[in-house]
Amino acid sequence: MTRWSLAAVERAAPDASSWTAARKLATPGPWSQTGATDALVWGRCQGSGRTPYQVSVDLDGPAYRCSCPSRKFPCKHALALLTLWARDDPVIGGDDAGGEGADVARQWAEQRAGRAAAAAATAAEPARPVDEQARARRQADRARLMDAGIDELALWLADLVRGGTAEARRRPYAWWEAAAARLVDAQLPGLAEQVRDTGAGLAGRGDDWAGSLLDDLGRWWTVVQAWRRRDTLAPDPAADLRVEVGWSVPTAEVRGADDVTDRWQVLGAFRTDDGRLQQQRTWLRGLDSGEQLVVLDFAARAQPLPAARLVGTVLHADVARYPGSAPRRALLPDDAVVVGTDARLPGGVDLAIAADALAEAWATNPWARRVPVVLDEVGLSVPDRLVRDAAGLTVRLLLDDDPWALAARTGGRPCRVFGELEADGFRPLTVEAAP
């Protein structure tokens, strides 16, 4: 396995704060029982507790494992171990080093390989015949339940508007939670999650809470009207509506239905965690087709997300596309082959063109949350939390981590940035700083 560069390790970090913490740990002091093979790196890192954390990295995935309680993935310990390995630090021994730590790492790698082999064997088995009549009955039963839930949502929205948004803001969170629970019972989990988020976030929205609440109400009312006319919708808007209400498409139906073969460049990734569900968005660009797709991974609060693909990695794969409007969700197969690296971002646009792209996405899908864009020659004003292009147009900078790490990366110079443009601003994911 080719030794990673420090830049590759940094790109694996889930956020800037994890990378900063990892660099502080990347010294021989806290490490013991370290070792490496062509495919594995392992070691023990002494933390604040009595028992050192056992850290293992499978370079072939890559995949990460650490006994620490961190919910970030990879954690700072895995990143620090990779940093030592990338530097070829003497503290990292050979494949005969590590003792018990080596045994733990090898056992973990063997378990991963066994699960992968079992999954491949299951996928190779002939599919069981589907009882189409039974499936049609189940779908019809769910549709009737969802119809009733949509009708109840319409009444709830009418009552809310009749009482006024000021009265809605004074409502306790239990009132919002009760409405969300009814939507869950009606098999509308996507709408339920939105109602919960709105109820939980109203108090912290500041002076613009009324406008934000009206945006949410308008979006839900649009769902009500579209659902009642769903039989007349074209396939793509119908698929967008299905996503909005939370009626997922089984992966078995996605595979092979609309595949595209290409060399896919990993443009960037972002993770969210609301305390109940973790989400990871990974953006891909077809080097031959130019199409941009997003791979979504989910995990419950106590479960780890899949390892993030390194930014700049180029994968050769048959990617299955979900139905719906652009930017489309994609299903990346487990057997995607890394065929190279390409850290260069494609040619970008200014903020005016990016705003047009977002407006076009809304015209096609009124529930679209974001579009992927590459911005050219933009400055990132950290104190003002603004992105400014060469024409002087600005948009709010969306950052969850320390903004000064981003400022240091750009050196204060105009740069090319890939990220997500939303109604509230622009979230930078990958920066290609000027030399």
What CATH number is given to the structural domain containing 290? Answer: 2.40.50
pLDDT tens over the chain, length 435 residues? 567 888 888 888 888 888 888 999 999 888 888 888 888 888 899 887 788 899 998 887 788 888 888 877 788 999 999 999 988 888 787 555 556 667 788 888 888 777 777 766 666 666 566 677 887 888 889 999 999 999 999 999 999 999 999 999 899 999 999 999 999 999 999 999 999 999 988 866 777 788 889 999 999 999 999 999 999 999 999 999 999 999 988 888 888 788 899 999 999 999 887 777 788 999 999 999 999 999 998 887 667 777 778 888 899 999 999 999 999 999 988 778 888 888 889 989 999 999 999 999 999 999 999 999 999 989 888 778 889 999 999 999 988 666 777 777 777 788 899 999 999 899 999 988 655
- Residue 146 inside a domain? The answer is yes
Enumerate the H helices of 26-99 as residue ranges: 76-86
Alpha-carbon distance of 369 to 376, in angstroms, equals 22
Summarize pLDDT for 413-423 with one digit per residue, the tens: 888 999 999 99
Please check whether residues 11 and 114 belong to one and the same domain. yes
Number of domains into which the chain is organized: 4
Examine the fold and report which residue of 195, 220, 245 is the final residue of a domain before the chain moves on. 245
Which run of H or of E encompasses 418?
A: strand 415-422
> Contact 345/419 with Cβ under 8 angstroms?
no
> Contact 42/105 with Cβ under 8 angstroms?
yes
- Domain of 373 in residue numbering reads as 351-432
- Among 307, 289, 243, residue whose Cα is nearest residue 64: 307
Alpha-carbon distance of 75 to 77, in angstroms, equals 5
- Residue 132 inside a domain? The answer is no
pLDDT of residue 1: 55
Dig out the tokens for 290 from the structure: 């130019």
Alpha-carbon distance of 55 to 48, in angstroms, equals 15
The pTM of the full predicted model, rounded to 2 decimals, is 0.72
SS3 assignment, position 310: coil
Please check whether residues 143 and 225 belong to one and the same domain. yes
Alpha-carbon distance of 142 to 330, in angstroms, equals 25
pLDDT of residue 301: 65
267-303 in b/e form (b: 16+ CB < 10 A) is bbbbbeeeeeebebbbbbbbbeeebbbbbebebeeee
Examine the fold and report which residue of 315, 341, 367 is the final residue of a domain before the chain moves on. 341
> Contact 26/83 with Cβ under 8 angstroms?
yes
pLDDT of residue 35: 86
DSSP 386: E
Examine the fold and report which residue of 207, 226, 245 is the final residue of a domain before the chain moves on. 245
